Amino acid sequence: MAGALCRGADVTEAAPPVWQLVLVLWGTKYPVAEVNHLIATVCRHAAHPPRVVLITDRQREGLRPGVVQRLIPDFFMAPEMRGAGCQTKLCMFEAGVVPDDLPAVFIDIDTVVLGDLTRLLALQTERRTVAILQSAVLPFGALARGVFRLTKGRKYARGNSSIVVYHPAETAHIAARYRALVAAHGFNGLRPMIADERFMSWAHQPQMRAIPRRLAVKLPTEFMLPYRWLILLRARLPWVRRRWAGLVALTLPGAEVKGEALLALPEGGEVVDRKGRRLIWSEAALGPVKARLTDYYTSLQASGRTP
């Protein structure tokens, strides 16, 4: 399957793709204009244009030409799977949904792409490797694999699935195992089943690895701290600012911090999340990321997405 490629604002069949961008969309939270803006941003930065696969609950009109649309299997459209646990996202691993000829990078639609996502493909030391953002104290690696074996799977490293680097040909067992466990134990019948990211971390633990923080981060864990003085002090560290300047992607936490709402903040304005962590909207707190967020969301508004 050759697939469709994107270069700038156009789609062309001139060269075969070497990777896939995968998006999952259901409901009405994200308009097509926002999806198109994200795809255009990925394509603008990418060293090699991707095949773009949108896994969706229905055919979407108005998408950029060449986007491959695949329907979410009915099993993963159960209402309970579209709740806080986002188990619907496990459909990205379902055999036959995403073409299995190329490696893939999945990103949430509220991800801000700042650089070349093809850099993430180098994290796959082998086709079985799945890379996601680290989210728990126990890091992915040899120690976690040992703990996983010793506890017979009760303890394991886990991550955040806002970004997932994987190969569809090597990961169909994740969706298949989830289906089997739902049939055997019911929805959320086992602890690892309560969220998509927990389940993929558990089901594929031996081949999991973390996406380095020099490449991608979640905005709350990287930029939000309880104390204003600590935020400003950390942002002055030269090695931290250099790392921020090289980020490929930044994921926002959804409803708590909306990109367009950031643009409406005055310089130095704050957002506080439910955990008491603060985001300060200033260059002094966000370094080079503030200007890049401003550019991204200003461009998104101009593209026709309603704030």
What are 199-231's pLDDT values in tens digits?
Answer: 999 999 999 999 999 999 999 889 999 999 999
What is the tens place of the pLDDT at every residue in 21-56? Answer: 999 999 998 999 999 999 999 999 999 999 999 999
Q: pTM, whole model, 2 decimals? A: 0.92
What is the tens place of the pLDDT at every residue in 142-200? Answer: 999 999 999 999 999 999 999 999 999 999 999 999 999 999 999 999 999 999 999 99
pLDDT of 249 > 50? The answer is yes
**What pLDDT sits at residue 136?**
76
Give me the residue spans of the domains in the chain: 5-210, 216-302
Percent of the chain at pLDDT > 90 equals: 81
Query: N- to C-terminal Cα distance for the chain?
Result: 37
Alpha helices in 13-162 (DSSP H): 32-45, 142-150
20 forms bridges with which residues in the sheet?
Answer: 51, 104
Q: Which residues contact 302 (CB under 8 A, 6 or more apart)?
A: none
- Give CA–CA dist 65/93, Å, rounded: 24
Q: What is the mean pLDDT of the chain?
A: 91
In this structure, the strands spanning 249-251 and 51-56 are unpaired
**What pLDDT sits at residue 126?**
94
**What pLDDT sits at residue 305?**
53
**CATH of region 5-210:** 3.90.550.10
SS3 at position 262? helix
